[in-house]
Amino acid sequence: MTLKELDLFYLLSENSHVSQLSKKLSISQSAVSLSIKSLENKLGEPLFDRIGKKLVLNERGRVFKEKTYKSFLALKDAENFFKKDRVSGTLHIASSKTIGNFIMPQIVFDFLSKYQNIEIKKEIKNSLQIIEMIKNGKLDIGFIESECNETDILKETMGNDELIVVSCDETLPDEVYIDELFCKKWILREKGSGTRDIFLKEIGEFAKELEIFMEYSDFEEVKKLLQDNSEVITCISKVALQKGLKEIKLKNIRIKRSFYCIFHKNKYKSKLFESFKQFAKNRFKLLL
């Protein structure tokens, strides 16, 4: 049974004249009669007695109305709510480390400040983990720092970023060839990280000579190591550059990358989904 059939049933139970009701609703009498007949067929028995040109609620119709009317009103309230404010509900997102730590918190805060009746569940994972979560339907939308060529996943560019080499060693020149830094203790993100994968890809053949001393998964971890050990060096996003970290420019190497949002190609794109995606895209442009 449909809301339209139920709506006509309750209206007709208060006004048994089909002609009057059809005129009031600006629909044909046959449309009213067919809708009521469809409801009765689904229930397996008549709800009205046909008396002349009137449909008079019978004993079964009175029982049906009594048992269902409160639920019908609740459904109508829900329908009206979603028509009035479609930007509502719960959105499950995940961001890779750089985006999740330095960009997404302010975006989520501002979005929640703008809209009511919304919950955003957010996680921080590496790019590979987010891609797998999208493939398995565990996320509505993901924000990653690496390429994604999965056939079941759609992606949109959110903005552009640059990867830089940093250290706290003030004795280092401002610009060097990368092989001049091989004597340092390189600490890179864990495997599956977009930052790590892109950095190693962009330095080409030098990646084979680069000895990775240690891996890290959290920015605060590597920041502390950099501050306490002048021989430590790493690669981070330019948006993560903070006071006390020295950027070392690489001669002949400049590492650009894009930030992406990804979602499953079969994802239902609700008003909340579309609104948040566009809001995030606009904010990325301002923050980068």
Cα Rg of the chain (Å, integer): 31
What is the four-CA torsion angle of 103, 104, 109, 110, rounded to 10 degrees? Answer: 70
Which ranges in the chain are annotated with CATH 3.40.190.10? 89-160+258-287, 162-257
Least confident of 52-66, 98-112, 119-133, 262-276: 52-66
Whether 85 shows a pLDDT value over 70: the answer reads: no
- Residue-level pLDDT at 83: 64
- Which of 280, 267, 286 lies closest to 95, judged by CA? 280
What is the mean pLDDT of the segment spanning 43-63? 86
Whether 87 shows a pLDDT value over 80: the answer reads: no
- Residue-level pLDDT at 82: 65
> If you average pLDDT over every residue of the chain, what do you get?
90
How far is residue 236 from each of residues 101, 141, 216, 217, 229, measured CA to CA in Å?
12, 24, 12, 12, 17
Architecture of the domain spanning 3-84: Orthogonal Bundle (1.10)
Whether 77 shows a pLDDT value over 80: the answer reads: no
Which ranges in the chain are annotated with CATH 1.10.10.10? 3-84
- Residue-level pLDDT at 183: 94
What is the four-CA torsion angle of 138, 142, 147, 149, rounded to 10 degrees? Answer: 40
Q: For residues 272 and 261, what is the distance between their CA atoms, to the nearest angstrom?
A: 15
3-state secondary structure at position 182:
coil
Q: For residues 141 and 19, what is the distance between their CA atoms, to the nearest angstrom?
A: 51
CATH number of 162-257, picked from 3.40.50.620, 3.40.640.10, 2.60.40.1180, 3.40.190.10: 3.40.190.10
Share of the chain above pLDDT 70, in %: 98
- Residue-level pLDDT at 80: 67
Whether 48 shows a pLDDT value over 90: the answer reads: no
What is the mean pLDDT of the segment spanning 169-187? 95
The CATH classification number of 89-160+258-287 equals 3.40.190.10
Q: Which amino acid is at 67?
A: K
- Express each pLDDT in 110-121 by its tens digit: 999 998 878 999
**Structure token pair of residue 153:** 């996943």
- Express each pLDDT in 179-238 by its tens digit: 999 999 999 999 888 899 999 999 999 999 999 999 998 889 999 999 999 999 999 999
Global pTM exceeds 0.75: no
